[in-house]
Amino acid sequence: QQSAAEEAANTQEFLLPLIKGGKLRDYQIKGVKWLMSLWQNGLNGILADQMGLGKTLQSIGFISHLWEKRVVGPFIIVAPLSTLSNWVNEFRRWVPEIPVLLYHGNQEERNNMRFRWFRKPGFPNFPVIVTSYEIAIRDAKPLQKYHYKYMVVDEGHRLKNFNCKLIRELRNYNADNKLLLTGTPLQNNLSELWSLLNFLLPDVFASLSDFERWFDFSNVGEGQDLAAAEQHTKIVEKLHNILKPFLLRRLKADVFISLPMKKEIILYPTMTDHQKKINQELLDKTLVDTMKKEAKRNCSSGNVSKLRNILMQMRKNCNHPDLITGEYDGSLTLPTGQELVDQCGKMRLLDRLLNKLEPKGHKVLIFSQMTKMLDLLEVYLEDRGHKACRIDGGVCLDDRRMAIERFNNDPAYQYFLLSTRAGGLGINLASADTVVIYDSDWNPQQDLQAMDRCHRIGQTKPVLVFRMITANSVEENMLRKAESKLKLERMVIKKGAFVQDDIEKKINFTLEEMKEILASDIGLSGKEGAKAKDITQKDLNMLLDRSDLAKFRPIQPLKGKGFEVVAHKTGAGLLSNVNA
C-alpha cells in the first residue's frame, strides 16, 4: 500500500513533471488542481490562502503544467516591487527549464530587454515576464501588444479601488485567464470585493445596480440587535455561495498542522521623565516656544509648524522623543545608543528584550512605520556592535534582494529593520523567529502581514511577536479607538456608487474624539494601573520561554504588570468561512 506522501509525489510527477526543486505539499497539489479546473472551465479566480502557505509556488506549478502541455505563454506576473526577486528565484529553483525575466530597470534597460527577449510570443524561448505594478502601468503600451495566456496579479487586494490607475491599465491587458493572489482577505466592505470581481468577471459583475440589488443592505438595521445581525449573516452567506466556485482559501491551521505556533504579546513600556515633560509641553502648547528658543540658540532651521499637529507629535514622542527634539537641538549627529535607550521607555524595553534574545541566536524582525525611527534603531544596533539589514520604501530592488539573502543565510546578521508597509508584503524571512512591532498600524491587516514574514512555510521554530504600545499614552488610546471603529464598520453601499472604504480614511478622528483622546491618560495622571508598571525580569523571562509553544499547547490570554498575551485571531474578515 502506498503512503499518502508517495501518492502525492506520484501525483506531482504525473501532473507537474517540470517541477525539479522539491516536493509540493498535499494541499499545494490540490491548489494546482483547482487552478487547472478553473482553466478548463475558462474561469478566472482568486487564490486567497493565508499568508505563508506558498501561493507563489502553486502559481508556478500551474504555469509549469501549462508549459508541459505546450501552452508556453506569453505569461505575465504583476507583483509588488519587494517580491519580484523572490518570484524569479522561485521560478529558477522549481522550474529551471522555463525561461523567466525580471522586467525592471530604467527606460533604456527595459527597451533592450524587449528587443532581446520579446521576439517570438507563444514560442518556448519567450520568457515568463515578472514585473512590478509601476512598470505594468508605465510600459502599458509595449506590454499590452501581446495576447497573454495567463496573468497573475500578486497581492491582488491592491486592486480594491475601482478607480485606481493600476486596475484601469490591467483591464486593458489582453489575457485569456487571470489569477489574483491575496493572503490578506478582503476587509469587511463590499466596495473592495466588487472591484476585484469586476476585474476578474466583468461580464457577470458588470452592473453596480445589480450588485446593489443582490446585496441589499438598505433594510439592515443600524443597531446591534439580533434581527440586523441575522440579515447581515444571510447576505454574507449569499456572498460566500457566489464566491465559492472561483475562490480558494485555506488557513494554516487547516492544512499545515506541523507549522510551529505563534504567540502575540503586547508590551506596555512606561514613559521616561523626559517623554512625560515633552508630552506636558505639547499639551499646554509650550513646546513650540521651547523649541523656537532652542533652535535660535543653536542656529537651527527646524520647522516649528510641524509641531502643531499635537496627536502626531505625541505618537512620535511615544516612539522616541528625538523624533521631535532632534531637529532643534543643533546637533549634527544622532544620539548614541545609550542616550537613545535612556531617553525613551520603548527603547529601554527593547534593549532588555534584545539582550535576552541575542545570546541565544534568535533572529529578530523589527517593524516601524516611521523611517526616521528606523534610523534611530539602526544607530542603536550599530552602537551595540550588531549588524542589521534594512528595507524601507527608499531601498532599491537589488539592495532588498541582497538584504534578504544576507539575513536568511548569514548568522552575523541577527536583526532586520523594516518599514511596515514596504516590508510587510510577500517577503520570506523564515530564518527569523521573533517579531517586534515597534509601533502599530491602524490597519490590523498590515501588522498581520508583517508577522507572517517569518510565520510561514520553512519556519521550524515557534514564533514570538512583541507589539509595543506605550502605557497610558495617546498611542494606546488612539489604537483602542481605531479598533472599536473597525469593529463597528459595516458593509455599506450608497445609492448608485460604492463608498471607497479605505481604512486610513475611515479612521479620521473627529475633533471631539481627538479632545477625548488628549483628555485621557497620557502617562501623567495619578490613576495609572497595572500597565504603568515596568515589566519584571521574571515576567520577561516567562514570556520569552517558548517551551509551551514547542509542545503545541493552546495559547491562553494572560494579563500582568506591563504585558498582555493575546489569543490569536485569523483575521479572515469576510472570507472566514469560504473554503472551496
Written in H, E and C, the secondary structure of 470-487 is CCCCHHHHHHHHHHHHHH
Helix (H, G, I), strand (E, B) or coil at 70: coil
Beta bridge partners of 366: 417, 436
For 513, phi and psi rounded to 5 degrees?
A: -65, -40
Residues 6+ apart with CB under 8 A from 228: 220, 221, 222
pLDDT at residue 346 in the model: 92
User: How would you list the strands of the sheet with 147-153, edge to edge?
Assistant: 100-103, 128-132, 75-79, 147-153, 174-181, 45-47, 247-248
The whole-angstrom distance between residue 398's C-alpha and the CA centroid of its chain comes to: 21
Question: Does residue 506 have a pLDDT over 90?
Answer: no
Beta bridge partners of 566: 264
Question: Does residue 107 have a pLDDT over 80?
Answer: yes
* Per-residue pLDDT tens over the stretch 530-557: 566 788 999 999 999 988 888 878 888 8
Q: How confident is the model at residue 104 (pLDDT cuts 50, 70, 90)?
A: very high
Q: pLDDT above 70 covers what percent of the chain?
A: 70
Show the cell assigned to 44. Answer: 478566472
Q: Which residue has the higher pLDDT, 195 or 464?
A: 464
Alpha helices by DSSP H, listed for 244-297, are 252-255, 273-283, 287-297
HEC states along 344-359?
CHHHHHHHHHHHHHHH
Query: pLDDT averaged over the chain?
Result: 77
* Arithmetic mean of pLDDT, 366-379: 90
Q: Residue 515: CA atoms inside 13 Å, Cβ hemisphere, count?
A: 3
* Helix H or strand E segment including 434: strand 434-437
pLDDT at residue 182 in the model: 83
Question: Does residue 347 have a pLDDT over 90?
Answer: yes
The pairing of strands 100-103 and 75-79 is unpaired
Give the C-alpha separation, 194 to 198, whole Å.
6
Q: How confident is the model at residue 88 (pLDDT cuts 50, 70, 90)?
A: very high
| 61, 33 Cβ separation under 8 angstroms | no
Q: How confident is the model at residue 78 (pLDDT cuts 50, 70, 90)?
A: very high
Q: Kindly tell me the burial class for residue 107, based on how many C-beta atoms sit within 10 Å of its own C-beta (0-12, 13-18, 19 or more).
A: exposed
Q: Which residue has the higher pLDDT, 574 or 435?
A: 435
* Complete domains list, the chain, with CATH: 4-185+249-255 (3.40.50.10810), 262-271+338-472+530-574 (3.40.50.300)
Residues 6+ apart with CB under 8 A from 419: 367, 368, 369, 370, 371, 374, 391, 392, 393
* Per-residue pLDDT tens over the stretch 9-33: 567 888 888 888 888 888 899 899 9
Question: Does residue 578 have a pLDDT over 60?
Answer: no
Residues 6+ apart with CB under 8 A from 450: 365, 367, 418, 420, 423, 424, 435, 437, 441
* Per-residue pLDDT tens over the stretch 440-476: 876 666 667 677 777 776 778 888 999 999 888 877 7
Question: Does residue 303 have a pLDDT over 50?
Answer: no
Give the C-alpha separation, 387 to 121, whole Å.
46
Question: How many angstroms separate the Cα of 345 from the Cα of each of 272, 273, 353, 369, 529?
Answer: 6, 9, 12, 18, 17
Q: What is the DSSP string of 515-559?
A: HHHHHS-SS-SS---GGGSPPPHHHHHHHH--HHHHTTPPPPPEE
* Per-residue pLDDT tens over the stretch 282-302: 777 655 565 556 555 555 444
Question: Of 331, 332, 309, 313, whose CA–CA distance to 321 is shortest?
Answer: 313
Give the C-alpha separation, 271 to 269, whole Å.
7
Helix (H, G, I), strand (E, B) or coil at 139: coil
Question: How many angstroms separate the Cα of 292 from the Cα of each of 175, 240, 288, 298, 302?
Answer: 59, 58, 6, 10, 8
